[in-house]
Amino acid sequence: MDKILIIDDNSCIRAMLKFLLNEHEILEAKDGETALKILKKQKNIKLVITDYQLPGMDGLEIIKWLKTHHPEIAIILISACTKIIVGAKKLEIEHAFPKPFKDIDYILEQIKKIMGR
């Protein structure tokens, strides 16, 4: 089964996304270092949803690592910083959404497309 890794230091955001994406197997990380450990061990991760601002290793570092080591994994960037969302195209991130989420149905629709459902 394909998995989704949610990386956010806010446990409420992780819990909300886990609840909304309950038809998928969800893995969670509260920081970049934990996320890297998961990414190195787990197989079949199809999507990473990462916050930009994280303690220690930030979302940009995770994205760069993913693009080098797992370019097949889709990435969704989430951030409360509008500049980061606007700049996501420069990072070659196809999907970026501002927090707090305004159109959760659209976000879920995009995730379904990524996950092939």
Domains of the chain: 3-115 (3.40.50.2300)
Residue 117, token pair as written in the block: 């459902």
CA distance 60 to 73: 15
pLDDT tens figures, 29-78:
999 999 999 999 999 999 999 999 999 999 989 999 999 999 999 999 99
Total-model pTM: 0.92
Contact 41, 64 (CB under 8 A): no
